[in-house]
Amino acid sequence: MNVILEAKEQIEPEFKTFTENRVKFSLKRLFWLVRKIKVKYSSVAQAKTGCNQNCIIELQTFDNRQIEVSITARDRRTALEMGLKKVYKHMQKALHKAQKYGRLSNHVYA
């Protein structure tokens, strides 16, 4: 599983390692199904509320399924947590659907 981190502004090294570790931990049960994860951080300009950090998580599975989730929250960490929770739900749905219709091979190697 490849974790790619993108941001317009500079990201601290500690937050970069936190993001990678958090992504790997939250998807630890389904990591074998994921080929590539891309996490993008950005700031929302002129937000009327306190929520001004945007996190986009793009995921590619081994059966070439694309999952994309966008979350806006007060800070990056909260946006990442909420986004990973949504991604995990979508991954479970994709896995169950693939198993139901036989689209997923029994031998998928990471």
pLDDT tens-place string over residues 53-110: 889 999 888 777 788 999 988 888 999 999 999 998 888 887 777 777 665 555 544 3
Tokens of 48: 């009327």
pLDDT computed for residue 47 by the predictor: 60
* Residue whose structure tokens are 């317009």: 8
* Residue whose structure tokens are 């793009």: 58
Q: What pLDDT, in 10s, does the model give residues 16-67?
A: 899 999 998 888 888 778 888 999 998 877 666 667 888 999 988 877 778 8
* Residue whose structure tokens are 């091979």: 105
Whether 39 contacts 15, CB under 8 Å: no
Distance, CA of 28 to CA of 71 (rounded, Å):
21
pLDDT computed for residue 83 by the predictor: 93
* pLDDT of 6 above 70: yes
DSSP 3-state assignment of 15? helix
Contact partners, residue 62, CB within 8 Å, separation at least 6: 33, 34, 35, 108
Distance, CA of 46 to CA of 66 (rounded, Å):
30
CB atoms within 10 A of CB 23: 23
Hey, which residues does 27 pair with through a beta bridge?
Answer: none
